[in-house]
Amino acid sequence: MATRKDRSRSRLLAALSGTHDGRPAWVDRIEEGDDAGFFGPGSAAWAVHGGMPTLVAGIRALLVQTLHPGAMAGVHDHSRFGEDPLGRLAGTIQWLTIVTYADTVFATEESARVGKYHSRVIGTYLDAHDVERPYAAGDPELLAWVHLAFTDSFLACHTIWGGAIPGGADAYVREWATAGELVGVESPPRSEWQLRDQLAAFSNNGILKSDERVAEAVRFIRHPPLPKPMLPAYRVLFAGAVASLPEDYRRMLGLRRSRLPVVWATARALGAVHRLLGRRSPSEDAARARIARIGRGGPVGPSSPQQARTTAD
């Protein structure tokens, strides 16, 4: 008979990966391939994406992304987030994990799959000045915003709740620029300074917007339809995500930082999740097995998507 811990672990793994054992079918392919991927052991990307703070970072990234009215329109008009939030979450985690740990061929193919979906996401939205504009998920501005929100959130949360990053923040931003290029981002930041500068440009140029759609999305992210046993921990992680946001973002989102010690509480919650899930993810184990098989170690492999496409061809 399954213990309470086993049931809790199964529920969490199902929410994150779509399977109760935490090893969806695509993990097997991570173990295949003939190169070490874009990053590898010892890389900043492995350090950040292999840590528990990613649970908070995912919430934070969703909150930040809602502030671009074009991105918000795409989610509102086309996403199945409201009907199947865990399925959409598992799909996002799939892309993140494959690009981080798989060989360059699989990572490139997975990014192309995401790009193919983006090609169907089109419509119109009212910008921050109430001017109607067309949008497509593949527009350079929207791709850039989503990439910036993602990179900033994962870096910020790891800085607060994670360990040291090999090469520091600049290394993570530079490495994850490769993932941005794979999905079509034209000029992703390659240093922490460039990340801050590009984020500030969205705020300073009056692109971001807060409206009822944003408020609706925030309510959903704050109270998602998760299994009841998961809700207490989720509330702590949500409070931690809010605490990690800059004040101007919190104001636009209609959120306030709790007066309770939520940074400390989030650290305790993440520690509990770590003890529940174990030391390493199946995806990282699969990647290490692949690298050991091909006789390579460390962050080797092509340094750009263009090189990967050449390899795949």
pLDDT tens across the length of the chain (313 residues):
457 665 665 666 555 655 555 567 788 899 998 899 999 999 999 999 999 999 999 999 999 999 999 888 877 665 655 554 555 566 778 899 999 999 999 999 999 988 877 667 788 888 888 888 888 777 899 999 999 999 999 999 999 999 999 999 999 999 999 999 999 999 999 999 999 999 999 999 999 999 998 998 899 899 988 888 888 999 999 999 999 999 999 999 999 999 999 999 999 999 988 887 776 788 999 999 999 998 844 444 444 444 444 333 3
In whole angstroms, give the CA distance from residue 280 to residue 41: 12
b/e burial code for range 119-134 (CB count within 10 A of at least 16 → b): eebbeebebeeeeeee
- C-beta of residue 72 within 8 angstroms of C-beta of residue 217: yes
Residue pair 70/135 in contact by the 8 Å Cβ criterion: yes
Domain locations in the chain?
4-302
- CA angle at residue 75 from 74 to 77, to 5 degrees? 65
Nearest to 60 by CA among 236, 237, 248: 237
Distance CA 2, CA 6 (A): 6
pLDDT of res. 119: 67
- Residue 250: its pLDDT value, please? 97
Query: In sequence order, what are the beta bridge partners of 135?
Result: 123
> Which token pair is 233?
């921990």
The amino acid that residue 146 corresponds to is V
Q: Please, what's the b/e burial string for 191-206 (b: 16 or more CB within 10 A of its CB; e: otherwise)?
A: ebebbeebbeebeeee
Dist. CA 236–CA 243, nearest whole Å: 11
pLDDT at 80: 54
The reported pTM is 0.86
In this structure, what token pair is assigned to residue 214?
């944003």
What's the confidence (pLDDT) of residue 227? 80
pLDDT at 16: 60
Identify the pLDDT of residue 225. Answer: 83
pLDDT at 73: 81
- Give the C-alpha separation, 169 to 164, whole Å: 9
